[in-house]
A and B are shown apart, each in its own frame.
Chain A
């Protein structure tokens, strides 16, 4: 067999492109800060911080979804992902960078700026509001700050634990006994992460960070909805990196069988996302109770109508029809196209989740949103490729490597 190119070298073109994207991002951040962030108009300022919030939350969550993918497959004793597991690992490192950024933005909004345009529960009115009064045990600056900090620190810490374990696969061959122990230690670490993930992404964090913008409104499905959104775009991100590395001639062990399985995740979780989207929407539509409808009213019938239904078309109809066929999930071009579309679609979804509540009258989508997105995308490209170059791409001594190489769907 031809020798395996295990060591990734960052192509200079990739570096240039990522730096260009970061440059555009920083430029729009500065211009945005001057024109919007320092504006005397309260609403313009809110739009500035809201844009930073949904972008940082979205990109943190999709990078964290990579670690969730690793832990979920580890707990399921999955072996097929080993051929490309270094990629979700490298993506999950981004939580170390995006996490603190998100933390800084959220803490600034809550603790320094006391922006009650964004979080209505920060205002004085909330203390006398009959509905909000009951929620203040959960929605208060102290709890917000502690829980947010704890969440991000533990994501970083528990993720680092998993990555540290994976480094052992480069050191020495494992016999049956060390291999079994290694898998067991992975299982323990992965369970810890999963439990924390369930307590944060799958429940409290989306309520706290995003749902509480509509402080009066609530939906128990909101967190799962956010999780589905972030996980499906996280898988799309993994798919893009796998295809990128295959194009550069790396990852010889990963082939269309692995791509097929990633494609299945993209397909299945697009449908899962729609299931939650619909469940949330239909119950509220059918009940038609004013306090519940308040979230959907301006989205379905107001300024956000276009974006709201575009969102459904991009995130449901397109994956359903395009990714359904087996041959489509095994086709590199189609999967690349769909991955880009899905990430864009869920970015739009996060946009309308946050900005749809902050700027109800007009859609603010414009150069600033795309500029900030390009900052985050540039950072993902720059740091993930740098991270990939640090470790061999093949987990040479992982007990399940062979299972992954002969993987067959």
Chain B
């Protein structure tokens, strides 16, 4: 699939990273992502990321689990195959609540893990591009996506000024899921055609 060009800057300090993010965004460059070795508080706000909808998805999975379990058990134990357990009524709600609860948790947990993998574009055996391996150790790695209009030399100098101690240029494929390639990809291809 189509590869995109990125300019990558490495930072060591949060205190340098935050103003750099602000500068890069003000200058109008498009930050692809910032990879950090640990969760940096407030970075999502600085990057202007929208609130994740993972919890809404979790709620929907959970409520699905609740209704599925409740309707299944109540149908089985009241109409399909009523059994007498210790003289309890057939519709023995308190006894079902643990099962309903467990099923809710199961669906919510598994569903959210899968959704999380989907949103982060992770899958087993999938090799993702690493902009810098030390992003898992002690570097904070900022990847800026280049468009046809981006002047790479300018951008590199800009990043160095903003406090990056290592700047390089990379071509990478960062998206993999069917049909979810960035809209920008279309844009790049269009412009290439125009230039050609």
Partner of B95, one of A286, A324, A326, A408: A286
Partner of B97, one of A282, A288, A324, A408: A282
CA distance A288 to B94 in the complex (A): 13
Once the chains bind, are A278 and B97 in contact (CB under 8 Å)? Answer: yes
Once the chains bind, are A406 and B41 in contact (CB under 8 Å)? Answer: yes
Q: Mark B89-128, 1 if CB is under 8 A from A, else 0.
A: 0000011011000000000000000000000000000000
Once the chains bind, are A285 and B94 in contact (CB under 8 Å)? Answer: yes
Once the chains bind, are A282 and B94 in contact (CB under 8 Å)? Answer: yes
Once the chains bind, are B86 and A408 in contact (CB under 8 Å)? Answer: no
Task: Give every chain B residue within 8 A of A324 (Cβ-Cβ).
Answer: 59
Q: Mark B24-50, 1 if CB is under 8 A from A, else 0.
A: 000000000000000001100100000
CA distance A408 to B14 in the complex (A): 15
Count, chain A residues at interface, CB 8 A: 10
B55 at the interface (CB under 8 A from A): yes
| Distance to closest chain B CB from A408 (angstroms) | 4
B54-97 with Cβ < 8 A to chain A: 55, 59, 86-88, 94-95, 97
Once the chains bind, are A281 and B94 in contact (CB under 8 Å)? Answer: yes
Once the chains bind, are B55 and A408 in contact (CB under 8 Å)? Answer: no
Contact (A406, B95) CB under 8 Å given A288-B86, A324-B59: no
Task: Give every chain B residue within 8 A of A408 (Cβ-Cβ).
Answer: 41-42, 45
CA distance A326 to B53 in the complex (A): 11
Task: Give every chain A residue within 8 A of B55 (Cβ-Cβ).
Answer: 326
Once the chains bind, are B42 and A406 in contact (CB under 8 Å)? Answer: yes
| Distance to closest chain B CB from A327 (angstroms) | 9
Task: Give every chain A residue within 8 A of B88 (Cβ-Cβ).
Answer: 286
Count, chain B residues at interface, CB 8 A: 13
Q: How many A-B residue pairs have CB under 8 A?
A: 22
Q: Which residue of chain A lies nearest to B41 when distances are taken between CB atoms in the complex?
A: A408
| Distance to closest chain B CB from A100 (angstroms) | 41
By DSSP majority rule, is chain A's interface helix, strand, loop, or mixed?
Answer: helix
| Distance to closest chain A CB from B59 (angstroms) | 7
CA distance A282 to B86 in the complex (A): 14
Task: Give every chain B residue within 8 A of A326 (Cβ-Cβ).
Answer: 51, 55
CA distance A324 to B59 in the complex (A): 10
| Distance to closest chain A CB from B78 (angstroms) | 18
Once the chains bind, are B95 and A282 in contact (CB under 8 Å)? Answer: yes
| Distance to closest chain A CB from B55 (angstroms) | 7
| Distance to closest chain A CB from B96 (angstroms) | 10
Q: Mark A262-286, 1 if CB is under 8 A from B, else 0.
A: 0000000000000000100110011
Task: Give every chain A residue within 8 A of B87 (Cβ-Cβ).
Answer: 288
CA distance A334 to B59 in the complex (A): 20
CA distance A281 to B97 in the complex (A): 12
| Distance to closest chain A CB from B80 (angstroms) | 22
Task: Give every chain A residue within 8 A of B59 (Cβ-Cβ).
Answer: 324
Task: Give every chain A residue within 8 A of B41 (Cβ-Cβ).
Answer: 406, 408
Q: Which residue of chain A lies nearest to B56 when distances are taken between CB atoms in the complex?
A: A325
CA distance A48 to B172 in the complex (A): 77
CA distance A278 to B88 in the complex (A): 17
CA distance A281 to B87 in the complex (A): 17
CA distance A408 to B41 in the complex (A): 6
| Distance to closest chain B CB from A80 (angstroms) | 11
Once the chains bind, are A286 and B94 in contact (CB under 8 Å)? Answer: yes
Q: Mark A396-409, 1 if CB is under 8 A from B, else 0.
A: 00000000001010
CA distance A326 to B94 in the complex (A): 29
Q: Which residue of chain A lies nearest to B43 when distances are taken between CB atoms in the complex?
A: A408
| Distance to closest chain B CB from A83 (angstroms) | 15
Q: Which residue of chain A lies nearest to B85 when distances are taken between CB atoms in the complex?
A: A286
CA distance A406 to B45 in the complex (A): 13
Task: Give every chain B residue within 8 A of A278 (Cβ-Cβ).
Answer: 94, 97
CA distance A406 to B15 in the complex (A): 13
Q: Which residue of chain A lies nearest to B42 when distances are taken between CB atoms in the complex?
A: A408
Q: Mark B140-152, 1 if CB is under 8 A from A, else 0.
A: 0000000000000
CA distance A285 to B94 in the complex (A): 8
Q: Which residue of chain B lies nearest to A285 when distances are taken between CB atoms in the complex?
A: B94
Q: Which residue of chain B lies nearest to A324 when distances are taken between CB atoms in the complex?
A: B59
CA distance A406 to B97 in the complex (A): 41
Task: Give every chain B residue within 8 A of A282 (Cβ-Cβ).
Answer: 94-95, 97-98
| Distance to closest chain A CB from B87 (angstroms) | 8
Q: Which residue of chain B lies nearest to A403 when distances are taken between CB atoms in the complex?
A: B41
CA distance A310 to B191 in the complex (A): 65
> B residues touching A (Cβ–Cβ < 8 Å)?
41-42, 45, 51, 55, 59, 86-88, 94-95, 97-98
12 A-B pairs (CB sep. < 8 Å): A281-B94, A282-B97, A282-B98, A286-B86, A286-B88, A288-B86, A288-B87, A326-B51, A406-B41, A406-B42, A408-B41, A408-B42
In the A-B complex, list the 7 residue pairs whose CB atoms are closest, starting with the nearest. Answer: A408-B41, A282-B94, A408-B42, A285-B94, A286-B95, A278-B97, A281-B94
Given contacts A282-B98, A406-B42, 15 further A-B contacts (CB under 8 A): A278-B94, A278-B97, A281-B94, A282-B97, A285-B94, A286-B86, A286-B88, A286-B95, A288-B86, A288-B87, A324-B59, A326-B51, A326-B55, A406-B41, A408-B45
